[in-house]
Structure 1
Amino acid sequence: MKTLKKFFLGLLILLIAMAIIAFFLPREVHVERTASIQAPAKVVFNQVNNLRSWDKWAVWNQMDPDMKVDYKNRGIGKGAAYSWESENPNLGAGTMTITESVPYDSIATTMNFMEEGLSTGYFLFEESGQTTTVTWAFDTDLGYNPIARWMGLLFDSMIGPDFEQGLQNLKIVAETIVQEKRPVVELVNLPAFDFVSIRQTIELEDVSEQMGINYGQLINFINQNDLAMTNMPYAIYHKIDGNLIDLECGIPVNSKVEAQENIQTGTMPAKTYAAADHFGSYDHLEQTHSFIQKWIQNNELQLAGSPMEQYLTDPQKEPDESKWVTAIYYPVN
C-alpha cells in the first residue's frame, strides 16, 4: 500500500512539475517549409489561390477521397473558403479561408479546426528567372493549455513532413503545366473603360480581313477626335450562328465622344472575367477558348456575357507568330 501511495504521489508531483514547466514552453508555434519550382510565379500562385486545385497537391485533401467539401465565394481568391467533413480522425471537420491574396506575391489563410481551434498560415512566392521559391508557413497560439504547449514541441515534426510533401506535389503540378504549355486560367477584375467600336455581322471567312478594315477606321476616328488609345484593341464575339459572326471590334480610349455613322462609343462596365493568355498564332485560339470554357464549368461559375479577345501583340510590329500574345476573357458570375 505504501508503495502504491508513493507511486501516485510521485505521479502527482510529476504532473504538477510538467504543468509548471509547460508555462515556460513556447506559447506560439511556427512551422515553415520552402521549395523551389521551375515555373513562373503566376502558375504556382494560381494552384494555391484556387482552393479546388488543392486536391491535386495538398496531402490532407488526398487522405480521404470521400471527404465532403463545400466551397464558398467561388473558392478562388480573397474571401474564398471551403469547409470539410471527414470520418478520418486525422482530418475531422473545419473551415479554411483565404484572408488575403496578392497576385503572384502572397496568400494568407486561416484554418478553423473546430475543436482544435484557429490557426493562420501564409504562402510567399518569389520569382527569379525561371524559378519560383515558395514558402509555406503555419502559425498557432496554444494559449495557456499545458498539454497543448507540450504538444507544440512536436508540431514541426508532425506538420512539417506534410508541408514538404505538399510542396513537392505542388512542384510536380506546376512544372507539368509549364511543360505541357497549358493555359493558366484565373479570375480577374477589369475596371470600367471608355471605348470606340464597330459591330457588325460578317461571314467567318471574312473575319481577318474585316477586322483589319474596322481597326483602321477606328484609328482614324480616334485621330480625328483627338482621342488616345489607353489599351490594346479587342474583339467581342457576341454570337456565332453557323457561318455568321456577330462581331464587335473595339479600342479603349481616354474619354467618351459622340458616336458617328457605324462607329459606336460608350463605357464598358467593370466586370469579373475568367481569363487566360494565348501564346502563338491566331489559328489555334479555339484551343485556349475551349480550355477556359472547361475551367469555368469545373469551377461551377456562370457565364455573364460574350467572350472577348484582346490583342496584346501588334502583328505589324512583330511578324513572328510564336511571340504573339492574346488575352482571352469570359465574363462570369
Structure 2
Amino acid sequence: MLKRIFAGLFLLLVLVLAGVYFLIPTEISINNITVNTSDAHAFQFLAHQEEWKKWWPGTAASDFEYQYHNHLYTIKQLNNDDVVLLISNPGLSLNTQLSFMATDADKVKLNWSSVKTSSLNPISRFTAYLQMKRVKKDMNAILLHFKRFVEDDRNVYQMDVRISKVKDPIILATNIIIQQYPEMKQVYALVDQLKQEIRKQQAKETDAPMLNVHQTDYKKYEVMVGIPVNKAIQPPKNMVVNKMVLGGNILETTVKGGINTTRNAFKQLEKYKKEHNLVSPAMPFESLITNRFKESDTAKWVTKIYYPIF
C-alpha cells in the first residue's frame, strides 16, 4: 500500500515537472495594441522623455525613470520609432522594446516586446513565469492607459476640439487695415458700426461679434469684424455680407485667456486640420463671448474659435 502511495506521488511529481517544462515556454514575449492616432502623436509622447509624465499611469522618479506597481521602468534609449526600456525590481531585470508604427493615416500599432529565456530549474522556471505574467499584465495596463490618453483630443491639443454645424450663415462684416495689432477700442468701434446698421435695417443679431486679424505684411494688419444676423440685408459701401453654408462643418473650441491664448488655439486647430486631412473653404475667426472692451482682465476673456472645414 505504501509503495503505491509513493508511486502515485512520484507519478504526480513527474507530471508536474513535465507540465512546467512543456506548458511554460522557454522564451516569453509580450504585448501589442492598436491606437487611433497619428504617428506624429505617437512620436510626440513616446520619443520625448519629458512627455512621458503627461500620460504615465504611475509615478515619475525622473524624466527617465517611472514607477508602476512594484516595477521600475527605466528609459535607456529613445529612437525615431521605438523606445528601449529596462523593467526591474529586486528579483527581475528585463530589457524591453516599445516600438510604434503607422498602419494607416490615423492608426498606429504599438508593440512592447521582450524575450526572457526560462531557466532549466523547474522552480526558477515557474517563478519566472509567474513574474512575467504580472509584468505582462502591467504592460497591458500601461499600453491601454496610453491609448486612452492619446485618443483624447484634449490631451493632444490642450483643448476640447469638436466638429459642429454652421447655424448662422449670414454675417454682416467690415474691415480696416492698420499698422499694428488692433486695440480693443478699435475692434469695438467697428462692432458698434455694425450694430447700428443692423438696427437700422431692422435685423437681429444672432450671435456674438466675430473677429479675424490677419497680418498682411511686416507692418500691416487687416482687421475684419462681423456679426451674424437673422436675415439678408443690403450692406452700405463700407460693409459686406458674407454667407457661410448653412449646416456646413466647422471646427470649434472654447478658450479662456488673452490674445496669446487665442493665437495658440488657432495654431492647434490648424494642426488638427492638417493631421486629419481637412480643408478650409473660409477664414477662421474668433467669437468674442466676453466684451473685451469692458473687461480689462484678459484672464477672464472667454472666446470661441471657429474654423470652417470640409
TM-score, L = length of structure 1: 0.48
Q: CA deviation at 1:300?
A: 3.7
Compute the RMSD of aligned alpha carbons.
4.5
Deviation at 1:261, TM superposition (A): 2.7
Cα deviation for residue 253 of structure 1 reads 0.9
Identity of aligned residues (%): 21
2:264 is aligned with 1:287: yes
Distance 1:233 1:174, change over 3 A: same
Query: By how many angstroms is 1:316 displaced?
Result: 5.3
Query: Of 66, 70, 94, which aligns to 2:104?
Result: 70
**Which residue of 185, 199, 205 corresponds with 1:223?**
199
Aligned pair count?
A: 206
Q: What aligned pairs does 1:179-258 form with structure 2 within 5 A after superposition? A: 182-237=158-213, 240-258=216-234
Partner-residue secondary structure (3-state), 1:204: coil
Which deviations, in whole Å up to 9, do the C-alpha atoms of 1:254-311 show, x marking residues without a partner?
1111111312224222443333322112354322222333333333434433221111
In structure 1, the gaps of 5 or more residues are: 1-47, 76-81, 89-159
**What is the TM-score with the length of structure 2 in the denominator?**
0.51
Q: State which structure, 1 or 2, has the greater radius of gyration over its C-alpha atoms.
A: 2
Deviations 1:68-126 (A, max 9, x none): 4223xxx5xxxxxx6x88999xxxxxxxxxxxxxxxxxxxxxxxxxxxxxxxxxxxxxx
In the TM superposition, what is the alpha-carbon distance from 1:218 to its structure 2 partner? 0.8
CA distance in 2 between counterparts of 1:182 and 1:209 reads 30
Partner AA of 1:328 in structure 2: I
Query: In 2, Cα distance between the equivalents of 1:242 and 1:269?
Result: 33
Alignment check: 8 A CA contact 1:237 1:307 kept: no
**Relative to structure 1, is the Cα distance of residues 300 and 174 closer, same or farther in structure 2, using a 3 angstrom cutoff?**
closer
Aligned ranges for residues 250-329 of structure 1 at < 5 Å? 250-270=226-246, 271-315=248-292, 318-329=295-306
User: Where does structure 2 lack aligned partners over 5 or more consecutive residues?
Assistant: 1-34, 46-54, 56-82, 84-96, 113-136
Q: 1:303 to 1:176 in 2, by over 3 A?
A: closer
Instruction: For 2:287, give the aligned amino acid.
Output: Q
> Contact 1:237/1:306 (CA < 8 Å) preserved in 2?
no
Note if 1:331 corresponds to 2:308.
yes
Provide the C-alpha distance between the structure 2 equivalents of 1:86 and 1:206, rounded to a whole number of angstroms: 47
Matches within 5 A, 1:172-183: 182-183=158-159
| Compared CA separation, residues 268 and 168, structure 1 to 2 (3 A) | same
Runs of 4+ with >6 A deviation: 84-88, 160-163
CA 219–313 in structure 1, closer or farther in 2 if over 3 Å, else same: same
